[in-house]
């Protein structure tokens, strides 16, 4: 990124178009960490917020879920030019990410045991099968779009499998997730603007899951949809909105994120060939490699919290009702936490990154994401003889979940060894 | 110094075990202490475990 001269007056870490054009604003985050780690932002097209860029402050805020709520403002969303803000009740969603204690814990504990390292380990054969199929599909060729043909295919298949979504519906599920997360990007837009795109996809997905839930209430199967469809909170079945929102978040949360970690991970390997060689010659390094990929790519850019009472962060007074924006990619380059934070080192250990967040809302799917990344990069290390960019990468227009929507590569891929 | 694990927060993510296998073990999806009063030689690893625990379920107490 070219940032000739930085000053607080020129900082902009939230305009989605900038992410599309330049990628993550690491130079600006680095400047903020050094000069103004709790920085008040007022910009058009969004409400004011405090930008939090130090790892220690994100940890401190995240572990006080009663002082800092998720409900009032989930993340900092920026309207498209000309788009009007809708009142939240226009498109209701009620899920883990926008629930607060005590309700949040009740809902989270319904599923947490299905996402432990032990539970997700059981999915490994299936994840391997899915990954092998996806790679086999592009084997005979020398060029492909790594995103649309590889990295986006695995996460949606894995979560669809966990939810018990029949295989013929996977492509539709895939489209909805693109629209819900990437609705701010013209490529995925349907209708007039991001809000309309989101509303449409949300409605169709709710309709779809209403049917699947009814089916699983009659005939429970061994899948997560059956568990939620038949679960109880405070002695009663989940209300429809909570149940459908839970399913929607499971589908959406794990897709774009894992896809971008995969794409960004391969891009980092292409840019640091010695690290890819290291992974090839030392497969045992995969676990630290996956952590480093998540730190390096930090696919979730930010979530927000809103103060329930007047408080102080790093000496800065923050009033009740004001919100903070937690910039995870910045925490993951914090020079107070990491030696040489701008070096991609697949052996980095310990690696206390915050790519999955921390505390009350810590990523429920982290162990699943880790498993997927492990399998994908294990297979790529085995089968990919070489890979280089075959054209420029295209980035998503979003300052919420960042990433790459197209990455043309030229490659040589060998057969599966199993 | 006593180590306290808040079992209401712990979800068996096993990061503590990775950081300090001498001190923590996970069974039934929950972290358990292998030793109550760890020697000071292990303090550094325990501090790492506290930092690495994604649910921030581990703390130190004087009592
Ligand atoms: C590399 C991939 C992923 C990244 C970087 C990621 C990142 C995150 C982050 C930063 C949070 C918020 C944490 C906080 O507020 O402290 C989160 C929450 C969440 N993630 Fe992930 N995630 C990934 C994959 C997944 C997958 C595969 C699933 C599938 C189930 C998933 C499901 C969730 C859910 C349900 C929450 C909400 C948890 C809560 O509010 O209690 N994520 N994730
Ligand atoms: S790291 Fe934390 S949440 Fe995970 S098992 Fe250990 S104490 Fe429990």
d(C-alpha A243, C-alpha A213), whole Å: 9
pLDDT > 80? residue A185: no
Q: Kindly indicate the confidence band of residue A4, based on its pLDDT and cuts at 50, 70 and 90.
A: low
Pocket of ligand 1 contains residue A253 by CB under 6 Å: yes
For the CA of A157, the nearest ligand: 1
Query: Under an 8 A CB cutoff, do B48 and A105 touch?
Result: no
Residue A161 is part of a domain; what is its CATH number? 1.10.630.10
pLDDT in tens, A225-240: 999 999 999 999 999 9
* Domain interval for residue B41: 2-61
Nearest of A299, A317, A400 to residue A354 by alpha carbon: A299
> Is A232 in CB contact (< 8 Å) with chain B?
no
pLDDT in tens, A137-168: 999 999 999 999 999 999 999 999 999 999 99
Closest B-chain CA to A110: B11
Q: How far is the CA of A362 from the centre of ligand 1 (A)?
A: 7
pLDDT > 60? residue A2: no
> Is B6 in CB contact (< 8 Å) with chain A?
no
Number of domains comprising chain A: 1
In what helix (H) or strand (E) does residue A236 lie, and over which residues does it extend?
Answer: strand A236-237
Q: Kindly indicate the confidence band of residue A182, based on its pLDDT and cuts at 50, 70 and 90.
A: low
The closest residue, in CA terms, to atom 16 on ligand 1 is A357
Number of domains comprising chain B: 1
pLDDT in tens, A254-264: 888 999 999 99
* Section A336-347 average pLDDT: 98
Query: Under an 8 A CB cutoff, do A358 and B29 touch?
Result: no
Query: Under an 8 A CB cutoff, do B56 and A59 touch?
Result: yes
Per-residue pLDDT, A183? 65
d(C-alpha A29, C-alpha A330), whole Å: 6
d(C-alpha B58, C-alpha A57), whole Å: 18
d(C-alpha B17, C-alpha B25), whole Å: 6
> Is A366 in CB contact (< 8 Å) with chain B?
yes
Query: Which chain B residues are closer than 8 Å to A361 by Cβ?
Result: none
Pocket of ligand 1 contains residue A261 by CB under 6 Å: yes
Query: Under an 8 A CB cutoff, do A352 and B54 touch?
Result: no
Instruction: Report which ligand 1 atom has the smallest distance to the Cα of A373.
Output: 1
| A1 occurs within a structural domain | no
Query: Which chain B residues are closer than 8 Å to A118 by Cβ?
Result: 12, 29
> Is A277 in CB contact (< 8 Å) with chain B?
no
pLDDT in tens, B4-57: 999 999 999 899 999 999 999 999 889 999 998 889 999 999 999 999 999 999
Q: Nearest CA to CA, how far is B63 from chain A (Å)?
A: 22
pLDDT > 90? residue A319: yes
| A2 occurs within a structural domain | no
Which residue has better confidence, A252 or A339? Answer: A339
Mean pLDDT comparison of A38-52, A172-186, A191-205, A395-409, highest-scoring range: A38-52
Give Cα separations from A32 to A1, A10, A60, A192, A237 (angstroms): 16, 11, 18, 36, 47
Nearest of A314, A398, A361 to residue A77 by alpha carbon: A398
Residue B38 is part of a domain; what is its CATH number? 3.30.70.20
Closest B-chain CA to A64: B56
On the 0-12 / 13-18 / 19+ scale of CB atoms within 10 A, A44 is: exposed
The rounded mean pLDDT for chain A is 93
Whole-model pTM? 0.95
Closest A-chain CA to B14: A117
| A299 occurs within a structural domain | yes
d(C-alpha A172, C-alpha B2), whole Å: 53
Instruction: Report which ligand 1 atom has the smallest distance to the Cα of A303.
Output: 15
Beta-bridge mates of residue A311? A318
pLDDT in tens, A296-315: 999 999 999 999 999 999 99
| A63 occurs within a structural domain | yes
pLDDT > 70? residue A3: no
Query: CA dihedral in degrees (A190, A196, A200, A203; nearest 10)?
Result: 160
Q: Kindly indicate the confidence band of residue B62, based on its pLDDT and cuts at 50, 70 and 90.
A: confident
Which residue has better confidence, A190 or A313? Answer: A313
Pocket of ligand 1 contains residue A361 by CB under 6 Å: yes
In what helix (H) or strand (E) does residue A288 lie, and over which residues does it extend?
Answer: helix A286-297
pLDDT > 60? residue A53: yes
Instruction: Report which ligand 2 atom has the smallest distance to the Cα of B11.
Output: 3
> Is A56 in CB contact (< 8 Å) with chain B?
no
* Domain interval for residue A205: 8-413
Place of tokens 């038949």: A230
DSSP assignment of A105-127 equals HHHHHHHGGGGSHHHHHTTHHHH
| A418 occurs within a structural domain | no
pLDDT in tens, A86-114: 766 677 899 999 999 999 999 999 999 99
d(C-alpha A249, C-alpha A95), whole Å: 7
DSSP assignment of A159-203 equals HHHHHT--GGGHHHHHHHHHHHHHTTSGGG--SSSHHHHHHHHHH
Query: Under an 8 A CB cutoff, do B8 and A116 touch?
Result: no
CB contacts < 8 A (A, B): 41
Q: β-strands A408-413, A316-318: how paired?
A: unpaired
Q: Kindly indicate the confidence band of residue B59, based on its pLDDT and cuts at 50, 70 and 90.
A: very high
Pocket of ligand 1 contains residue A184 by CB under 6 Å: no
């Amino acid at each position: 990124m070219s940032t000739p001269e930085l000053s607080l007056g020129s900082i902009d870490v939230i305009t989605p178009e900038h992410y599309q054009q330049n990628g993550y604003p690491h130079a600006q985050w680095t400047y903020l960490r050094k000069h103004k780690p709790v920085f008040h932002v007022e910009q058009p097209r969004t409400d004011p917020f405090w930008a939090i860029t130090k790892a220690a402050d994100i940890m401190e805020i995240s572990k006080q879920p009663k002082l800092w709520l998720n409900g009032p403002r989930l993340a900092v969303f920026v309207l498209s030019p000309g788009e009007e803000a809708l009142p939240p009740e226009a498109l209701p969603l009620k899920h883990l990410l926008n629930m607060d204690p005590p309700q949040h814990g009740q809902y989270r504990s319904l599923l947490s045991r299905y996402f432990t390292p032990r539970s997700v380990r059981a999915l490994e054969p299936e994840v391997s099968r899915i990954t092998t199929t996806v790679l086999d599909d592009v084997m005979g060729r020398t060029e492909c779009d790594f995103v649309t043909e590889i990295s986006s295919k695995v996460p949606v298949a894995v979560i669809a499998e966990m939810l018990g979504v029949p295989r013929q519906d996977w492509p539709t599920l895939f489209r909805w997730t693109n629209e819900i997360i990437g609705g701010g990007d013209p490529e995925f837009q349907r209708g007039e603007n991001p809000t309309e795109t989101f509303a449409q996809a949300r409605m169709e997905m709710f309709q779809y899951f209403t049917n699947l839930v009814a089916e699983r209430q009659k005939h429970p199967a061994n899948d997560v949809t059956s568990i939620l469809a038949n679960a109880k909170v405070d002695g009663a079945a989940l209300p429809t909105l909570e149940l459908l929102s839970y399913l929607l978040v499971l589908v959406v949360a794990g897709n774009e994120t894992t896809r971008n970690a995969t794409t960004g991970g391969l891009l980092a390997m292409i840019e640091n060939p010695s690290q890819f060689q290291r992974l090839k010659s030392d497969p045992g390094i995969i676990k630290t490699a996956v952590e480093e990929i998540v730190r390096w790519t930090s696919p979730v850019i930010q979530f927000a919290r809103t103060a329930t009472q007047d408080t102080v962060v790093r000496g800065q007074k923050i009033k009740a009702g004001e919100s903070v924006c937690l910039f995870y990619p910045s925490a993951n380059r914090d020079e107070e936490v990491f030696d040489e934070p701008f070096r991609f080192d697949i052996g980095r250990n310990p690696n206390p990154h915050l790519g999955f967040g921390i505390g009350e809302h810590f990523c429920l799917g982290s162990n699943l994401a880790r498993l997927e990344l492990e399998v994908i990069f294990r297979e790529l290390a085995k089968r990919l003889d070489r890979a280089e960019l075959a054209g420029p990468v295209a980035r998503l227009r979003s300052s919420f979940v960042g990433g790459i929507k197209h990455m043309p590569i030229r490659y040589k891929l060998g057969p599966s060894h199993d | 110094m006593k180590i306290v694990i808040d079992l209401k927060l712990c979800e068996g993510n096993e990061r503590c075990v990775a950081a300090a296998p001498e001190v923590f073990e996970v069974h039934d999806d929950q972290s358990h202490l292998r030793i109550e009063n760890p020697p000071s030689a292990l303090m550094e690893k325990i501090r790492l475990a506290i930092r690495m625990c994604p649910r921030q379920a581990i703390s130190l107490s004087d009592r």
